[in-house]
């Protein structure tokens, strides 16, 4: 269960969140719990989660290890801070910051090289869904992002299906729509890497996940977890998603 805080919360607000959140999930050993705050607040989050099972991740990274790349951060920097995860190619990165499948591929490789677990985000927009292009979009995002990966390296990545039309809109995909897309993604993994990696691959759903719809989503066999935006900003609501 992962929370993507996007561009929300200061360092002080980060500490206040964990002060309330940590005890609410202290008994939750059934899943991994990850929070991805803005990178400037990662140290605060790492500090505030020390000694708990809660892990942290970046929301983005650059593919080079270091260099003259003003404004960027590397996988090694995230790792050195104590983070284990990084979101790659979130739809907002694709929409507003020109993220491409090819960039995503380089970032996934760099994340793996740094010992991070990349969470590779894919998903169609409303127009693509309405014109019947969902499978085609997912297929090209997936094959573009994982091009050149061995099955062994693929086994270290997590995929997040986030239909753009469901992000921040309150319009969650029905469990059936989400399940169909997750099944399609798992089929693509099977085609590319084989039955075992497909069965083992974790596919998260993201897009308007809330405490009152998590149960129906998680009841679907191909949905293995959630990537939560808005509802992860509130300790009570994210804790009830984790503990559904
Ligand atoms: P919301 O849960 O706010 O719809 O955001 C989903 C998301 O983009 C998570 O990465």
Q: How far is CA 212 from the centre of its chain?
A: 20
- Domain definitions of the chain by residue range: 2-242
pLDDT in tens, 190-231: 999 999 999 999 999 999 999 999 999 999 999 999 999 999
pLDDT in tens, 93-117: 999 999 999 999 999 999 999 999 9
Q: Which atom of ligand 1 is nearest to the CA of 230?
A: 3
Residue 33 CA to ligand 1 center (angstroms) comes to: 16
Nearest CA to ligand 1 atom 9: 229
Which residues are part of the catalytic machinery? 90, 162
Contacts of 152 (CB under 8 A, 6+ apart): none
- Average pLDDT value for residue range 59-65: 98
Q: What percent of the chain has pLDDT over 90?
A: 98
User: Cα–Cα distance between 40 and 132 in angstroms, integer?
Assistant: 40
pLDDT at 170: 87
Is there a contact between 134 and 123 (Cβ–Cβ < 8 Å)? no
Residue 67, pLDDT score = 98
Among 30-39, 57-66, 162-171, the minimum mean pLDDT is found in 162-171
Average of per-residue pLDDT values in the chain: 97
CA of 96 to the centre of ligand 1 (A): 15
Q: What's the whole-model pTM score?
A: 0.97
Q: Which CATH architecture has domain 2-242?
A: Alpha-Beta Barrel (3.20)
If one residue of 93, 94, 167, 208 were mutated to test the ligand 1 pocket, choosing by the most ligand atoms within 8 A of its CB, it would be 167
Q: How confident is the model at residue 171 (pLDDT cuts 50, 70, 90)?
A: confident
Rounded CA-CA distance 7/233 in Å is 11
Atom of ligand 1 nearest to the CA of 91: 8
């Amino acid at each position: 269960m992962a929370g993507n805080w996007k561009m929300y919360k200061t360092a002080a607000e980060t500490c206040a969140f964990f002060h309330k959140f940590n005890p609410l999930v202290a008994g939750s050993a059934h899943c991994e719990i990850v929070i991805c705050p803005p990178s400037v607040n990662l140290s605060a989050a790492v500090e505030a989660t020390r000694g708990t099972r809660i892990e942290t991740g970046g929301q983005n990274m650059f593919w080079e290890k270091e260099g003259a790349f003003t404004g960027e951060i590397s996988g090694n920097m995230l790792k050195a801070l104590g983070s284990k995860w990084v979101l790659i190619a979130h739809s907002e990165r694709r929409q507003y910051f020109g993220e491409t499948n090819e960039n995503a591929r380089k970032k996934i490789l760099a994340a793996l090289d740094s010992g991070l677990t990349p969470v590779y985000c894919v998903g169609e927009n409303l127009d693509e869904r309405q014109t019947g292009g969902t499978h085609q979009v997912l297929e090209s995002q997936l094959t573009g992002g994982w091009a050149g990966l061995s099955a062994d390296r693929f086994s270290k990545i997590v995929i997040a299906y986030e239909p753009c039309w469901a992000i921040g809109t309150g319009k969650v995909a029905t469990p059936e729509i989400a399940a169909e897309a997750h099944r399609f993604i798992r089929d693509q993994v099977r085609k590319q890497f084989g039955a075992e990696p497909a069965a083992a691959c974790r596919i998260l759903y993201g897009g308007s996940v809330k405490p009152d719809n998590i149960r129906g989503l998680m009841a679907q066999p191909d949905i293995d977890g959630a990537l939560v935006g808005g509802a992860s900003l509130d300790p009570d609501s994210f804790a009830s998603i984790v503990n559904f």
